[in-house]
Amino acid sequence: MRLQDKVALITGAGGGIGKETALLFAAEGASVVCVDYNAGPNEEVAAAINAAGGKAIAVKADVSKAADCEAMVKAAEDTYGKLNIIFNNAGISHADDDDAITTSEEVWDLTFQINVKGVFLGCKYGIPALRRAGGGSIINTASFVAILGAATPQLAYTASKGAVLSMSRELSAIHAREGIRVNALCPGPLYTELLMKYLNTEEKRQRRLVHIPMGRFGQAKEIAFAALYLASDESSFVTGSEFLVDGGITAAYTTPL
């Protein structure tokens, strides 16, 4: 198994990419620390892993709070003795996120608290644990919009994911010689609850789909397989990357006719 004897901490594990990744990592031999603000769904994911013969615990945490991030890392080490993989995946895309004129300061601040500060705190408290384990892999969920911008205005989200991308680049350079790899996983548009709440009309959905050469939204499990590669020793020479899994959206301006 590709993650045998590894311990992985995944934020946003209660649904979407985080859930699929937690299930996949466990199936590949990892002990998984499932972290989410929503306790119920998160506990269900951990229970499903344990019922299938894997190893998982559920930790409730608000990733925008330093004490919660410190506690989730401590839970990993206290339970499993080490931490090898951190997947800073928790994030939001607010329904009221729009352009600079329309987006409120409250929506802007909330988006950055979770999407950017949450990644910062995950690294702040997680990197010392990876050092204690002799190295490891950090995967930060960015987005294709960090590179292209969005066809439908969502300025706070786009700016926050740009921050995650640049943060990941710098961390990769700082910690490379410690055996700590840091990569930004950049999904394209996915058929998940997070995005579909935002693309809540057929017109909005089609404005995204027209730019995807594959002509469809991705699935959360497809991103989980990319995360598996970045978490595993198979990607031992991969750090500082913009790991795009986007159906070709960044390769083409529009879908060929």
Which residues are known catalytic residues? Answer: 157
Q: Do residues 9 and 33 make contact, with C-beta atoms less than 8 angstroms apart?
A: yes
Nearest to 222 by CA among 181, 183, 191, 184: 191
CA distances from residue 33 to 15, 52, 56, 75, 77 in whole angstroms, order as listed: 14, 16, 6, 8, 10
Neighbour order of strands in the sheet with 55-60: 55-60, 31-36, 7-11, 85-88, 136-141, 180-187, 242-245
Instruction: Write the CB contacts of 141 (distance below 8 Å, at least 6 apart in sequence).
Output: 12, 17, 87, 88, 89, 91, 164, 184, 185, 187
